[in-house]
Chains A and B, each alone.
Chain A
């Protein structure tokens, strides 16, 4: 089982880390703590893993629930799909250390939640369309088109923000 888990771990560690990292105000220490807890939880449940669910979808669900619990324990109400927009508030200390918020980050925050989710999954977290399909329950082809459209909207928003 260790070998199987190791393979599963290597396929998912980067993406899950990024998923968490961008939702905790880019705080490396908090992200590492949460990702550790997520994978320890995954290892404990790995032997009872339902093979009918994809590994990517399974660990993504664990990460999502774990983050939701993290914010619930901190008595913060957050929609995890909106979190990129909320980064500035939740991670204000970390964000304040940055020189300035870029037009891209502001545009990303202005995107509709569904579009933002596609762009962040594909470009920030690094998921392929097949994995996105198993996580989101849609076809890879449809997601490819939707992601492309979302990128066009993002480009348009960026242009607008730079123009202002």
Chain B
């Protein structure tokens, strides 16, 4: 049951238009020519990273666990993280990236421990990063030590998730979240360790 929100998000992710289609359609609609997609993507990405990280504001937004959804700098942080994610090309890089993102969400959740709704959102996001990281880890990838390290890091974050999860009052009132229980994360970690 707890997997429903996650399953729906998986379906949503599968229903995302490709970058190539989205870029071509925009160019077609506005009558502008598009530079080669890869170049455009790289240039835009680098520009965003330079602009954001080059400014004190961007650096603060990225580094501060206090910047979460609803904060004025949240979009800056979200943008930097998205660009960072786009540069994770290989399975290993993607798995490591999602572990980092899970760690960030957990740090944020631990900071906002008194705000249940905020913690619920962050834990939901952390669980999603966990799934994405596991999903990027094909069997035997890429070498045993790297895989073991990623699984160990996931285990650490899974423990933090479990602690934060158990602190949440599990009522069914407005705003409560459909969160995967820590046992599911533990089961998946055990599967990975086999």
Contacts and interface: CB of A to CB of B under 8 A. Distances in A.
Interface of A: 2, 5-6, 9-10, 13-14, 17-18, 21-22, 26, 31-32, 35-36, 39-40, 42-43, 102, 104, 119, 123-126, 144-145, 148, 151-152, 154-155, 158-159
Interface residues of B, number: 24
B17 A14 contact: yes
Nearest to B29: A43
Contacts of A35: 17, 25
Interface stretch (B46-54, B134-142, B168-176): B168-176
Contact of A151 (B4, B15, B28, B30): B4
A126 B12 contact: yes
A38 to B, nearest CB: 10
Given A102-B7, A144-B174, A155-B4, 16 more contacts: A2-B30, A2-B32, A5-B30, A9-B26, A13-B17, A14-B16, A17-B16, A18-B12, A26-B15, A32-B21, A124-B11, A145-B174, A148-B174, A148-B175, A148-B176, A151-B4
Contact of B25 (A36, A124, A152, A158): A36
A39 B8 contact: no
A40 B30 CA distance: 9
A17 B29 CA distance: 15
A123 B9 contact: yes
B42 interface: no
B114 interface: no
B67 interface: no
A155 B29 contact: no
Interface string B2-23: 0011011101100111000110
B83 interface: no
10 A-B pairs closest in CB distance: A123-B8, A43-B29, A17-B17, A21-B15, A155-B1, A18-B15, A2-B30, A124-B12, A145-B174, A39-B29
B178 A155 contact: yes
B4 A154 contact: yes
Contact of B12 (A43, A123, A151, A159): A123
17 contacts: A5-B29, A13-B22, A14-B16, A17-B17, A18-B12, A26-B15, A32-B21, A39-B26, A43-B29, A43-B30, A104-B4, A104-B8, A145-B174, A151-B4, A152-B172, A155-B1, A155-B4
A10 B8 CA distance: 22
A17 B15 contact: yes
Contact of A123 (B1, B5, B22): B5
Contacts of A22: 15
Contacts of A36: 25, 28
B174 A39 contact: no
A151 B16 contact: no
Given A17-B15, A104-B8, A159 B1 contact: yes
A110 B152 CA distance: 41
